[in-house]
């Protein structure tokens, strides 16, 4: 029968724990190569300018909501939440476009009403009022 000797018993240096400040090349750790990865993030369009213009020119409530979501988009991107930033930017765009359309519809309806009142109703009212007044007698001269 053969006797097999264990390498650790024959050579006690092979299994020794690592010692710090060892010279290069004598490390007992298996060091993996380090791979660096550069992730390039792009800031989504937050539609802040459109939201501010809608707030000032067309529809204040919808524009304000668009501004809030636009600022939220920027804050979420700065905190590292890319998906949340994209979702908030899409909501800012949706609210701003909705406010723009709503504002344009209100402006067109208001102008239509003003034109209708001034061209149709006012002359009818004045003509009816003028026809109801009895003719005055000739002015007398003194």
Segment 13-34, tens digit of pLDDT: 555 555 566 555 555 566 677 7
- CA–CA distance, 134 with 73 (Å, rounded to integer): 70
**Which positions ≥6 away from 91 have C-beta within 8 Å?**
69
Contact 59, 96 (CB under 8 A): no
Decide: residue 47, CB within 10 A, 0-12 exposed, 13-18 middle, 19+ buried. buried
pLDDT tens digits for range 126-138 = 776 667 666 666 6
Instruction: Locate the domains of the chain by residue range.
Output: 44-126
- CA–CA distance, 33 with 48 (Å, rounded to integer): 45
Predicted confidence pLDDT, tens digits, the chain (142 residues): 455 555 545 555 555 555 566 555 555 566 677 788 888 889 999 999 999 999 999 899 999 999 999 999 999 999 999 999 999 999 999 999 999 999 999 999 999 999 988 888 777 777 766 676 666 666 666 6
- CA–CA distance, 19 with 88 (Å, rounded to integer): 54
């Amino acid at each position: 029968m053969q006797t097999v000797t264990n390498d650790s018993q024959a050579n006690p240096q092979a299994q020794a724990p690592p010692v710090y400040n060892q010279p290069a090349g004598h490390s007992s750790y298996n060091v993996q190569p380090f791979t660096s990865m550069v992730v390039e993030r792009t800031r989504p369009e937050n539609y802040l300018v459109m939201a501010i213009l809608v707030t000032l020119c067309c529809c204040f409530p919808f524009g304000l909501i668009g501004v809030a979501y636009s600022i939220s988009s920027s804050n979420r991107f700065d905190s590292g939440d890319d998906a949340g930033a994209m979702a908030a930017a899409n909501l800012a765009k949706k609210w701003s476009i909705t406010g723009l359309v709503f504002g344009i519809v209100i402006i067109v309806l208001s102008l239509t009403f003003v034109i209708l009142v001034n061209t149709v109703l006012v002359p009818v009212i004045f003509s009816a009022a003028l026809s109801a007044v009895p003719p005055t007698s000739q002015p007398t001269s003194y």
